[in-house]
Amino acid sequence: MRLTDRLDILFDSLIGEGEQRAKRTKNAGDTSASSKSTAQTRRTAVLGLEGLDRGDFSTSNSNGRMRTFINTGMARTGNRCATLDQSNYSTSFSADSLITTFNLSNYSAGDQIWLDFYFQNQGIDFNLPGNQVWIRGNESAAWIPVYTLDTDPNRIGVYQPSPHINISGILAGATPSQTISSSFQVKFGEQGFTSTNSVIPDGDLDDGYSFDDITLTKAVNDISATAVLPPDLTSIS
């Protein structure tokens, strides 16, 4: 068995506040880290990841927010990640979601596709239903929860790998069953009360989740296999 067709989908290719900043910096002739990040972003895009058609942000109220750049050191790789949080502290929560759409029309239900990502809890130590990740086979299908984001205070500020999420199996096993399509989607959620501020872990003072290095991988059977190996998590970014 070998693993091919790595679709390394990076937030570095999403248009966001961070990218706009980086572009402005680059236009000014700056060679800082931000400018380098933009170059890296472009290289990533050229690698061709036919995967990411778009990323859509939504929030339950005006206090929700997504940023692709907050400060150097926030991203796991490169200079950007997607951080979902709240603009200001509020006694009532807001629920953010980033929906990423992938054109998987070149693949079929028989292909074994895995989803992996890294996330960093910025200080959420409570359980709310918005702190999950969901998938669906197409943009009209029902969302299927695939992972509840960690809230352990001991791991605040630490990038963690997701489990290896068996997209094909989960979609096939849903009721009613789903299949991948030209509009396969992953939804990353965050629900909290306040903002992400510090690169240095500061306990549960902040709220938010950062996501980086989202990877879709297709496993290919060379020979009859009885077990499926998880994908290599080495990042291209």
Residues found near Ca ion in the complex (CB under 5 A): 75, 77-78, 81, 123, 204, 207, 212, 237
Distance CA 191, CA 159 (A): 18
- Judged by DSSP in three states, 174 sits in coil
Residue type, 23: K
Between 76 and 136, whose beta carbon lies closer to Ca ion?
76
CB of 134 to Ca ion, least distance (A): 21
41-73 burial, b if ≥16 CB within 10 A, otherwise e? beebeeeebebbeebebebeeebbbbbbbbeee
Q: Residue 181 CB, nearest distance to Ca ion (Å)?
A: 26
**Are 144 and 224 in contact, with CB atoms under 8 Å apart?**
no
Q: How far is the CB of 205 from Ca ion (least distance, A)?
A: 6
| Min dist. Cβ of residue 119 to Ca ion (A) | 12
Nearer to Ca ion, 77 or 183 (CB): 77
CA 142 to chain centre: 19
Min CB(19)–Ca ion separation in Å? 12
Pick between residue 129 and residue 169 the one whose CB is nearest to Ca ion.
Answer: 129
* Residue 234: other Cβ atoms inside 10 A: 9
Q: Which CB sits closer to Ca ion, 36 or 144?
A: 36
Single-letter code of the amino acid located at 197: N
Q: Please identify, using beta-carbon distances, which residue of 64 and 123 lies nearer to Ca ion.
A: 123
Residue 161 vs 173, nearer CB to Ca ion: 161
The whole-angstrom separation of Cα 77 and Cα 235 is 8
Q: DSSP string spanning 148-159?
A: EPP--GGGTT-E
Q: Which two tokens stand for residue 120?
A: 């960093």
CB of 191 to Ca ion, least distance (A): 12
